Amino acid sequence: MDFRDKQAIYLQIAEYVSEQILLNRWPAGEKIPSVRELAAELEVNPNTVMRTYEFLSQKAVIVNKRGIGYFPTSDANDRIRDYRREQFLENDLPIFFKNLYLLGIDLSEIETRYEQYVAANYSHS
């Protein structure tokens, strides 16, 4: 995993975990990788993954079943979408709009490229 400089690593890992849940790779009711497993996979300190799991637990995206491991909650997808939608609308969209305006990009071009992106990356699901 390539980490970005402008965001805390535990939040970037939270995005990764959330993506796995949204893509149904880690469905509700099924155990997700342990702290150690994910830390080894992503080549980060286990404390960083632990911080990620605590963050996602506070957001009620995952739950810790003591002695068994972490599992996505039954409404994890809704909680992830709500949180990420809020973050996107508040942080990313204003920058996106500014760039559209400054670069003279028409919304129809964005729509076309969005449809191409979805077809290329998510249609096989």
For residue 26 the two structure tokens come to 């880690």
Residue 56's CB is within 10 A of a number of other CB atoms, namely 26
Give pLDDT, residue 70: 97
Torsion of CA 53, 5, 45, 76, to 10 degrees: 20
Kindly provide the residue ranges of all beta strands, DSSP E only, lying in 33-105, ordered along the sequence: 62-65, 69-72
pLDDT of residue 4: 82
What is the model's pLDDT at position 122?
83
> Percent helix, strand, coil in the chain (nearest 5)?
65, 5, 30
**pLDDT of the residue at 113:** 96
How much is the pLDDT for 5?
82
How far is residue 71's CA from residue 61's CA, in Å, rounded to a whole number? 9
State the pLDDT at residue 124: 63
pLDDT in tens, 84-120: 999 999 999 999 999 999 999 999 999 999 999 999 9
- What confidence score (pLDDT) does residue 73 get? 96
Q: Which residues contact 90 (CB under 8 A, 6 or more apart)?
A: none
What confidence score (pLDDT) does residue 76 get? 97
Domain locations in the chain as residue ranges: 9-75, 77-122
In this structure, CATH architecture of domain 9-75: Orthogonal Bundle (1.10)
Distance CA 118, CA 19 (A): 15
Positions in the chain whose pLDDT score sits under 50: none
Say what the pLDDT of residue 57 is.
97
